[in-house]
Structure 1
């Protein structure tokens, strides 16, 4: 029986994201290494642990895009928080007191600094209230 640690899985996902980004880098930025810039691979999973098999959604912010349904707003929010997800402004929301945990995960680069963020929220409403458009990956 083979045991794969979450660290190994995350490292593999990070490497895959770098390869994906390297293949999708526009020629105008050919002189910039693919690991630089402002980009994140984002995922939300039900439960208290991030889903290892989920590839996630790419968010690029130079210019906004990469498959994220709210890239413009997510990039604006991250820029205002200097790329610190924990510093995103919380919105006022009335969320139900139902425990249906969701775990948000982000990995990538922001202003040439590595980003590795994982946090579990009591439910999707609280996730959206605390992170705004960043983890609104379903288009709603």
Structure 2
């Protein structure tokens, strides 16, 4: 009986030591839970480009990551999607806010994000402006 226990313990140790290093949990490393990639074109300023925005903890290549994360925290409400498109039945002013476009992908609060933005009418302009500084303040 003691011999069987010793053999089982030895086999367990051998199996665990054969696991690749990535299989061992590293409790000192915290991966960001909120990570977005923001791609902006034709904003009329220096905001064009592709940026990574990490929140909780804040980081990435976004030029204003701290304020961008704070803004996302402000507009996030339980039961609502801060990246939701304009409702199809919304009444929007017919104004043009410029050629700027943006695409936001990634994960926010554990949910996938794949949102597009433009400034082709009043509703879309408001939607864009609600996310500044995640999206750059665009000039027409």
Alignment partner for residue 36 of structure 2, among 33, 36, 40? 40
- 1:38/1:99 Cα in 2 relative to 1: closer, same or farther (>3 Å)? closer
Report the structure number with the largest CA radius of gyration: 2
Q: Does the 8 A contact of 2:40 with 2:100 survive in 1? A: yes
Instruction: Find out whether 1:136 has 2:136 as its counterpart.
Output: yes
- CA shift for structure 1 position 43: 0.8
Q: TM (normalized to structure 1)? A: 0.51
Q: TM (normalized to structure 2)? A: 0.51
Match of 2:29, SS state, is: helix
Q: Alignment length, in residue pairs?
A: 90
Gaps of 5+ in 2: 1-27, 86-94
CA distance, structure 1, for counterparts of residue 101 and residue 136 of structure 2 = 13
- 1:102/1:114 Cα in 2 relative to 1: closer, same or farther (>3 Å)? same
The residue that corresponds to 2:73 in the other structure is 79
Q: Does the 8 A contact of 1:78 with 1:85 survive in 2? A: no
Q: Does the 8 A contact of 2:38 with 2:51 survive in 1? A: yes
Gaps of 5+ in 1: 1-26, 48-53, 88-96
CA distance, structure 1, for counterparts of residue 97 and residue 68 of structure 2 = 26
CA distance, structure 2, for counterparts of residue 130 and residue 84 of structure 1 = 9
